[in-house]
Amino acid sequence: MPDSQPGILICDELDPAAMAVFHRRGLEPEVRTGLDEEALIAIAPAYEAMIVRSATRITRPVLEAAGALRVVGRAGIGVDNIDCDAATERGVVVMNTPLGNATTTAELAIALMLSLARHIPRADRAVRSGKWSKKGLLGSEITGKTLGVIGLGRIGKIVSERARGLGMKVVAFDPYLDRSTSGPSAGGVELLELDELLECSDFITLHVPRTKATERLISWERLAKVKRGARLINAARGGIVDEEAVLDALVDGRLAGAAFDVFEQEPPAKNHPLLQREDVIFTPHLGASSQEAQLRVAIDMAEQISDFLLEGVARNAVNAPTLPADSLGEFAPFLLLAEKMGSFLAQRMGGPIRKIELTVGGEIGRLGVEHLRLALLVGILRHIMEAGVNFVNAPSLAKERGILVLENVEEEADFRHGEITVRAIERAGAETHVVSGTVFGREPRITRIDEVYLDLPPRGPLLLTRHEDRPGVLGKIGTLLGEKGVNIRRLELGPPGKADDLAYGFLTLYEEAPEEVIAAIAEMETIREVQLILL
Q: Each residue of 190-231: pLDDT tens digit?
A: 999 999 999 999 999 999 887 777 888 999 999 999 999 999
Q: Report whether pLDDT(506) > 80.
A: yes
With a cut of 60, say whether residue 440 has pLDDT above it: yes
Is 285 tagged catalytic?
A: yes
Residue from 109, 119, 99 nearest 389 by CA: 99
Task: Compute the distance between CA of residue 364 and CA of residue 362 in angstroms, rounded to an integer.
Answer: 6
Provide the residue type at 165 as one letter: G
Assess whether 366 carries a catalytic annotation: no
pLDDT higher at 179 or 361:
361
Residue 333 has a CB neighbour count (10 Å cut-off) of: 22
Residue ranges of the domains in the chain?
1-100+289-319, 102-282, 321-459, 460-535
Domain 102-282: homologous superfamily in CATH? NAD(P)-binding Rossmann-like Domain (3.40.50.720)
Cβ-based burial of 529 (10 A; exposed 0-12, middle 13-18, buried ≥19): exposed
47: three-class secondary structure by DSSP: coil
Residues in the chain, overall count: 535
* C-alpha closest to that of 175 among 467, 381, 458, 473: 381
pLDDT at 184: 47
Neighbours of 416 (CB within 10 A): 11
Q: Which one of the listed residues 237, 296, 373, 448 is annotated catalytic? A: 237
266 is catalytic: yes
Res. 72: pLDDT tops 70:
yes
Mean pLDDT of 363-391: 80
pTM of the model: 0.69
The single residue of 266, 311, 412, 525 carrying the catalytic annotation is 266
Query: Residue 457: phi, psi to the nearest 5?
Result: -65, 125
Spell out the CATH class of 460-535: alpha beta
**CATH number, domain 1-100+289-319:** 3.40.50.720
Domain 321-459, CATH class in plain words? alpha beta
Q: Which of 302, 305, 368 is nearest to 338 (CA)?
A: 368
Residue pLDDT, tens place only, 297-312: 999 999 999 998 888 7
With residues binned 3-state (H G I as helix, E B as strand, rest as coil), the percentages for the chain, rounded to 5, are: 35, 25, 40
Count of CB atoms situated within 10 Å of the CB of 57: 16
**Angle, alpha carbons 38-43-45 (nearest 5°):** 120
Q: Say whether 102-282 and 1-100+289-319 share the same fold.
A: yes
Query: 5 vs 236, which has greater pLDDT?
Result: 236
Q: Please give the share of the chain, as a percent, with pLDDT higher than 90.
A: 59
Q: Is the pLDDT of residue 521 over 90?
A: yes
> How much is the average pLDDT of 134-140?
91
Q: Which of 285, 433, 459, 489 is catalytic?
A: 285
Q: Lowest mean pLDDT of 321-330, 425-434, 492-501, name the range.
A: 321-330
| Cα 257 to Cα 227: distance, rounded to the nearest angstrom | 12
* Averaged pLDDT for residues 68-77: 91
Mean pLDDT of 307-333: 74
Question: Can you tell me the mean pLDDT for 336-341?
Answer: 92
- How far is Cα 466 from Cα 526, in angstroms, rounded to an integer? 9
Nearest to 156 by CA among 140, 180, 175, 142: 175
